[in-house]
C-alpha cells in the first residue's frame, strides 16, 4: 500500500522576511497561522525555583460571563497598560486559546486590540494573549506543586519519610519550575515529576527515567553483573509488540526500519556469550506496568506482575518470535516467577515494576506498603540529583543517542545550584 | 512560482521525505475518561525541511489521523522526539526515514 505524501509547502514563508503590512492588513486575506507575538511583560521567571513558584502571586483566573462577547476592537489598545495587565483577572485557557485562534483573522480584518467581559473598559494589546498563556502555565504548575506539597506534608510521618521529605523540599529550592531535565534521552518535563507526590498514574517517560537510573547504578556497580545484564527502556516492549505474528505465524511487513534498527541493537547484544540477562518494563493496557526478565543462559523468560494478572499471550508470542530469531530457533520457557512485591493500592505499579528489577538485579529490598511513599519521594530525589551529578556521562548500552542539537553545546541550565 | 514583486522563487531542495507511522491498538483520552478504541496501522510521508522543528510535522500527522498529540509518543530509532525544537537534521535523518508513533502509556493499576 502506498503511503500518502504531504508537502509541507509554506508558500508564504518568504513574506516573513519581507513583511509589508499593506499586503496583509485589511485586504481580505485568509488567516491560517498565528503571527509572532511581539511583546510581553512581567512574565514569571522561568528560572525561578519550584519553592519560589509556590509563593508566586498568580492573578485570579475566571471565565467571562458572556460567550457572545465581541472580543476584538477596531480601536487601538489603551495606553500604558503594561503595569495594569498583571493586576487584571485572566480568562481560562479555553478562552485564551479560542482568542489566539481568532486573532490572526481579526488582525487581518483591521482589529487593533481586544477586551473581555471581565475587564470590558480596558482595550488590551494583542500580546496579552501570550502573556496570559505563560501565566496560565505558571498557574497550572503552581497548582500541581501545591498539591505535591500537601501530599508530601501528609505522608511524611515515618522517620525515613521525614528525612526524604527534607531532601525533597531542599531540591524544590534548587530546581527551576519550567522546562526539561537534561540527561534523560530527549527530555523530561520538570512538571511531570510532580506526579511522584501524588496517587496519580505515572507515564512511560518517568518509568524510563527510573530505568535509566537503574542502568547507571548497574553500570557503576563493580560486580560482573554490570557487564552481563542490561535494563532497557519502555519502547523495547512496544517495538516487540509490533512483531506479533499472524495466525499463520507470519510477522507483519509494515514495521518501520527505525523500529527494526532499534531492535537489531538489542539483538546484537543478545548474541554475546558474556551477556546473560535483559530486563524490561511492559505496559498492560489500559493502566498497568509490569516487569520482565530474559535469561539467555537458561533460555528462560520470567514475568513479574504486581497484581498477578494473567500473562499477555500476544506479547509473549511476539517476544518468543524475537528471541527465537536471535538464538537459531531456540525455545525459551516462560514463567511468572520473577520475584516481585504484591501491590496493595491502585497507583504504585510503576514504582513496583522498577523495584522488581532493582530487587532482582541489585538486591534492593522489595516494595512494601510501608515504604511506598518514601520510594516515590526517593525516585524524585534520585532523578533530579542525577542531572546535576555528572553521572549522566556514564556510558550505557546501547549508547543513548541524543539529538545532535543537544550534543552541540551546553543545555540551558535548569538546576540552580551555586 | 513568484512573489508579488515578481521575483522567482527557486524550488526548495532542503526538504526530505519523512514518514510517520502509527498503529495504536488502545487509546484513552485522559486519565479520568478511559475510552478505549482500536486504530489501524497508518503511515504518512511528508516533504519537510530538515532544519525545521519536527513538532509541526507531528502535529500535522496527529490532526490527519484525528488523535490527540498528547496520546502519542514519537521515537526515531528509540530516541524520543519530545522537544519542540528537534529537527530531522538533529536526528541525522535521511530521505525516506520513518518516525515511529507509539501510544502514550501511563499506569498505576486500578481504574478509578
List pLDDT tens digits, range B45-80: 999 999 999 999 999 999 888 888 888 899 998 888
Q: Cβ–Cβ of B82/A402 closer than 8 Å?
A: no
Extract the residue ranges of chain A whose pLDDT is less than 70: 1-2, 9-43, 64-69, 185-186, 390-418
- Would strands A288-295 and B15-22 be described as parallel, antiparallel, or unpaired? unpaired
- Return the bridge partners of B101, or none: B22, B74
Helix or strand (DSSP H, E) at A294: strand A288-295
- Would strands B42-49 and A229-231 be described as parallel, antiparallel, or unpaired? unpaired
A199 phi and psi angles, rounded to 5 deg? -105, 25
Q: How far apart are CA A193 and CA A188, in angstroms?
A: 8
A114 phi and psi angles, rounded to 5 deg? -145, 160
Quick check: B32 pLDDT over 50? no
Helix or strand (DSSP H, E) at A265: helix A257-271
Sign of CA dihedral A366, A214, B104, A49: positive
Quick check: B29 pLDDT over 50? no
- Residue A51 C-alpha cell reads as 519553592
Q: What three-state secondary structure class fits A412?
A: coil
pLDDT of residue A39: 40
Distance from B66 to chain A by nearest Cα, in Å?
Answer: 16
Distance from A289 to chain B by nearest Cα, in Å?
Answer: 6
A312 neighbors A164 (Cβ within 8 angstroms): no
pLDDT of residue A214: 93
Between A and B, how many residue pairs show a Cβ–Cβ distance under 8 A?
Answer: 170
Taking residue A30's Cβ as centre, other Cβ atoms within 10 Å add up to 7
Domains within chain A, CATH numbers bracketed: 1-37 (no CATH), 38-140 (no CATH), 190-406 (3.40.395.10)
B45 phi and psi angles, rounded to 5 deg? -105, 145
Q: Cβ–Cβ of B9/A14 closer than 8 Å?
A: yes
Which of chain A's residues have a Cβ under 8 Å away from the Cβ of B44? 3-6
Taking residue B2's Cβ as centre, other Cβ atoms within 10 Å add up to 8
Identity of the residue in B49, B82, B104 whose CB atom sits nearest the CB atom of A186: B82
pLDDT, averaged across chain B = 79
Q: How far apart are CA A336 and CA A362, in angstroms?
A: 20
A106 Cβ contact list (under 8 Å, min separation 6): A71, A72, A114
Measured between alpha carbons, how far is residue B79 from residues A62, A131, B96 in Å? Answer: 40, 33, 17
Closest residue on chain A to B25 (Cα):
A285
Closest residue on chain A to B103 (Cα):
A238
pLDDT of residue A349: 97
Amino acid at each position: 500500500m502506498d503511503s500518502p505524501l504531504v508537502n509541507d509547502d509554506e508558500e508564504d514563508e518568504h513574506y516573513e522576511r519581507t513583511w509589508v503590512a499593506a499586503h496583509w492588513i485589511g485586504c481580505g486575506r485568509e488567516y491560517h497561522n498565528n503571527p509572532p507575538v511581539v511583546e510581553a511583560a512581567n512574565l514569571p521567571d522561568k528560572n525561578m525555583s519550584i519553592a519560589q513558584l509556590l509563593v508566586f502571586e498568580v492573578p485570579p483566573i475566571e471565565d467571562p460571563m458572556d460567550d457572545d462577547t465581541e472580543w476584538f476592537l477596531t480601536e487601538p489598545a489603551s495606553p500604558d497598560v503594561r503595569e495594569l495587565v498583571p493586576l487584571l483577572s485572566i480568562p481560562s485557557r479555553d478562552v485564551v486559546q479560542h482568542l489566539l485562534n481568532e486573532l490572526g483573522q481579526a488582525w487581518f480584518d483591521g482589529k487593533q486590540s481586544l477586551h473581555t467581559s471581565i475587564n470590558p473598559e480596558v482595550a488590551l494589546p494583542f500580546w496579552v494573549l501570550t502573556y496570559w498563556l505563560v501565566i496560565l502555565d505558571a498557574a497550572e504548575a503552581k497548582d500541581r506543586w501545591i498539591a505535591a506539597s500537601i501530599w508530601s506534608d501528609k505522608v511524611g510521618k515515618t522517620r525515613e519519610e521525614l528525612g526524604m521529605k527534607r531532601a525533597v523540599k531542599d531540591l524544590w529550592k534548587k530546581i527551576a519550575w519550567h522546562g526539561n531535565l537534561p540527561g534523560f534521552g530527549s527530555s523530561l518535563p520538570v512538571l511531570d515529576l510532580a506526579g511522584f507526590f501524588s496517587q496519580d498514574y505515572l507515564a512511560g517517560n518517568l518509568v524510563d527515567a527510573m530505568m535509566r537510573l537503574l542502568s547507571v547504578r548497574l553500570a557503576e556497580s563493580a560486580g560482573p553483573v554490570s557487564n552481563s545484564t542490561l535494563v532497557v527502556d519502555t519502547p523495547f516492549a512496544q517495538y516487540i509488540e509490533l512483531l506479533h505474528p499472524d495466525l499463520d505465524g507470519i510477522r507483519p511487513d509494515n514495521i518501520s526500519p527505525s523500529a527494526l534498527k532499534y531492535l537489531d541493537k538489542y539483538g546484537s547484544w543478545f548474541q554475546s556469550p558474556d551477556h546473560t540477562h535483559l530486563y524490561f518494563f511492559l505496559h498492560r493496557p489500559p493502566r498497568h506496568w509490569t516487569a520482565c526478565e530474559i535469561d539467555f543462559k537458561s533460555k528462560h523468560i520470567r514475568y513479574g506482575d504486581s497484581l498477578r494478572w494473567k500473562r499477555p499471550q500476544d506479547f509473549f508470542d511476539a517476544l518468543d518470535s524475537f528471541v527465537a530469531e536471535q538464538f537459531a530457533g531456540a525455545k525459551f520457557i516462560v514463567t511468572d516467577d520473577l520475584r516481585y512485591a504484591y501491590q496493595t493500592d491502585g497507583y504504585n505499579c510503576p514504582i513496583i515494576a522498577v523495584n522488581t528489577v532493582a530487587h532482582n538485579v541489585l538486591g534492593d529490598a522489595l516494595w512494601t506498603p510501608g515504604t511506598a511513599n518514601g520510594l516515590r519521594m526517593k525516585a524524585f530525589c534520585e532523578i533530579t540529583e542525577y542531572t546535576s551529578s555528572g553521572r549522566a556521562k556514564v556510558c550505557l548500552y546501547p549508547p543513548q543517542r541524543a539529538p545532535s542539537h543537544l550534543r552541540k553545546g551546553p543545555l540551558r541550565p535548569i538546576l540552580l545550584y551555586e | 512560482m513568484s512573489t508579488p514583486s515578481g521575483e522567482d522563487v527557486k524550488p526548495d531542495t532542503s526538504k526530505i521525505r519523512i514518514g510517520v507511522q502509527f498503529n495504536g491498538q488502545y487509546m484513552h483520552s485522559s486519565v479520568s475518561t478511559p475510552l478505549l478504541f482500536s486504530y489501524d496501522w497508518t503511515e504518512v510521508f511528508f516533504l519537510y525541511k530538515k532544519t525545521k522543528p519536527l513538532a509541526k510535522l507531528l502535529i500535522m500527522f496527529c490532526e490527519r489521523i484525528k488523535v490527540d498529540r498528547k496520546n502519542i509518543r514519537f521515537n526515531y530509532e528509540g530516541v524520543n522526539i519530545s522537544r519542540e525544537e528537534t529537527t530531522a537534521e538533529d536526528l541525522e535523518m535521511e530521505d525516506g526515514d520513518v518516525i515511529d508513533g507509539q501510544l502514550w502509556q501511563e499506569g498505576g493499576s486500578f481504574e478509578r
